[in-house]
């Protein structure tokens, strides 16, 4: 009988209590990671190659491969390969590879033969194998698939047909389903004869048309007599998704209804796979990473050990936009250098940029969160826009008056500039702040909806590109107000 490596390793850890294994009850995960990282770093700097391999092999025997998979992302590529090579057995290597990052798998695959990769994939579920193969070149992927068992290879190829961010790619096509007249004893025999299929918490029931109509929790299989047909103990399926459904749609359904296993159907309403809660958690982590990267203006993986120049290249394109925006503002400012009002107004450009930037971010972040959580329906978007614009008007009025009044007092009792008209300067700053806040509110309110309409993550609206554009636009509006008021008062 074939053992599942995840279950076997878990049982081994429970049976063998090793004093060097750190319990999660005693330490936080971060403390465990720091301790394990320190051990690995000491091992790699311990001296001779023989001593390094001895120490790393000891760490590999005493540590959970899941922890090692997360920690090696902080190490250089060559060190990740050494850790993998010194894991105690094939099951540990499989668990390590399943939980490792894409960069780690790529580094290890470069050192492995096709036959070694084939040995790993044969023991993995098809859905995990697909993610492994995504980290290879197309030519090598084809070679490895040709080496696999035809049935296994066919399952993997079926999953590869689907879009990377679709339900078809998240699902596993290894599950148990039975006709509604099948008895519990027949179900038990089938499960017993297929130990390689991990998903046993639920079994699914289909009718004569092959359409899925219900599911049976594993507990119902244990507490009912073996002669009872599954149709009598099944529960109705209330939620299912099409194979082409987006990753975001899957996450929304599972998160809202707390579904442990979500059925996936095709155009004929026939079941083709199951998305487990664990798969959804991983998808949520990927979505969160991508969202944070979009908001921060970088595509780098902060958990990865990468050279400084690579991290710079990830950030540079986004910062180039900010640089161009700053040059545009500087160029426009130079055009007004000879204007009388520019002598006083140039000091307030940082104030305008800061106020408008924060106002725009507050608007966009509020709407982005509402869009991402589904709290903002399509019919309610008009009310949300009106509310944000009203807040922007109130913000511009309140802070515009406050800034103008403070500047008036500053020039009246603090700063003494020859020929300065305190009332004119205060009024100009007040109007400039008001207009800048309104401009930032409009941009921050409509940009999330614009990006969502273009099928782009709305979180981009909080990134450096929109922020830079907001600064430029707000500054130009301030110059326009200052220029207009100057000639009105003349």
* Positions in the chain whose pLDDT score sits under 50: 1-27
Conformational region of residue 391, where left means phi above 0, alpha means psi within -120 to 50, and beta covers everything else: alpha
What does 291-354 look like in DSSP terms, one character per residue?
Answer: HHHHHHT----TTS---HHHHHHHHHHHHHHHHHHHHHHHHHHHHTTTSTTHHHHGGGHHHHHH
DSSP letter (8 states) at residue 207: -
Ordered by where they begin, the domains of the chain are 5-170 (1.25.60.10), 177-296 (3.10.580.10), 308-489 (1.10.357.20)
Eight-class DSSP state of 172: B
Plot region of 419 (φ>0 → left; ψ -120 to 50 → alpha; else → beta): left
Residue-wise pLDDT for 20-44, tens only, equals 444 444 446 777 778 888 888 888 8
The strand pair at 177-179 and 241-242 is best described as unpaired
Phi, psi of 475 (to 5 degrees): -65, -40
Residue tagged 């450009």 (tokens): 349
pTM of the model: 0.65
Residue corresponding to tokens 């982590």: 285
Summarised one tens digit per residue, pLDDT across range 396-406 is 999 999 998 98
Residues 372, 376, 381, 385, CA torsion sign? negative
Q: Cβ atoms within 10 A of the Cβ of 60, count?
A: 22
């Amino acid at each position: 009988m074939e053992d599942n490596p995840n279950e076997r390793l878990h049982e081994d850890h429970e049976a063998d209590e090793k004093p060097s294994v750190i319990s999660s009850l005693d330490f936080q995960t971060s403390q465990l990671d720091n301790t394990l990282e320190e051990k690995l770093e000491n091992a790699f700097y311990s001296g001779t190659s023989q001593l390094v391999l001895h120490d790393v092999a000891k760490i590999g025997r005493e540590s959970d491969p899941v922890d090692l998979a997360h920690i090696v992302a902080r190490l250089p590529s060559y060190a990740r390969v050494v850790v993998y090579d010194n894991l105690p057995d094939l099951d540990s290597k499989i668990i390590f590879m399943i939980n490792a990052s894409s960069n780690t798998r790529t580094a290890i695959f470069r050192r492995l033969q096709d036959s070694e990769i084939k040995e790993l994939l044969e023991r993995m579920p098809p859905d995990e194998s697909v993610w492994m193969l995504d980290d290879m070149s197309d030519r090598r992927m084809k070679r490895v698939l040709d080496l696999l068992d035809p049935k296994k290879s066919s399952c993997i190829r079926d999953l590869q047909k689907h879009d990377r961010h679709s339900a078809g790619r998240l699902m596993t096509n290894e599950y148990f389903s039975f006709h509604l007249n099948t008895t519990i004893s027949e179900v038990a025999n089938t499960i017993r004869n297929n130990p390689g299929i991990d998903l046993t918490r639920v079994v699914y029931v289909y009718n004569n048309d092959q359409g899925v109509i219900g599911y049976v929790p594993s507990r119902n299989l244990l507490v009912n007599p073996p002669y009872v047909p599954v149709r009598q103990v099944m529960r109705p399926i209330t939620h299912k998704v099409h194979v082409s459904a987006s990753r975001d749609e899957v996450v929304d359904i599972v998160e809202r209804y707390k579904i442990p296993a979500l059925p996936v159907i095709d155009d004929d309403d026939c079941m083709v796979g199951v998305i487990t809660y664990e798969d959804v958690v991983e998808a949520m982590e990927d979505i969160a990473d991508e969202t944070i990267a979009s908001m921060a203006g970088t595509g780098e993986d902060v958990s990865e050990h990468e050279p400084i120049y690579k991290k710079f290249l990830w950030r540079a394109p986004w910062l180039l936009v900010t640089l161009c925006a700053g040059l545009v503002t500087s160029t426009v400012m130079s055009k007004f250098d000879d204007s009388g009002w520019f002598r006083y107004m140039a000091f307030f450009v940082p104030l305008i940029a800061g106020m408008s930037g924060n106002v725009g971010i507050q608007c966009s972040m509020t709407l982005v969160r509402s869009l991402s959580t589904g709290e903002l329906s399509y019919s309610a978007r008009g009310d949300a826009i009106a509310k944000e614009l009203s807040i922007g008007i109130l913000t511009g009025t309140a802070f515009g008056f406050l800034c103008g009044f403070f500047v008036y007092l500053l020039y009246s009792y603090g700063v003494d500039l020859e020929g300065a008209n305190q009332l004119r300067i205060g009024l100009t700053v007040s109007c400039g702040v008001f207009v800048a806040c309104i401009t930032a509110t409009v941009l921050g309110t409509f940009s999330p909806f614009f990006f969502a309409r273009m099928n782009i993550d709305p979180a981009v609206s909080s990134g450096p590109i929109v922020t830079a554009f907001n600064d430029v636009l707000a500054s130009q509006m301030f110059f326009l107000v200052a220029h207009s008021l100057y000639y009105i008062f003349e």
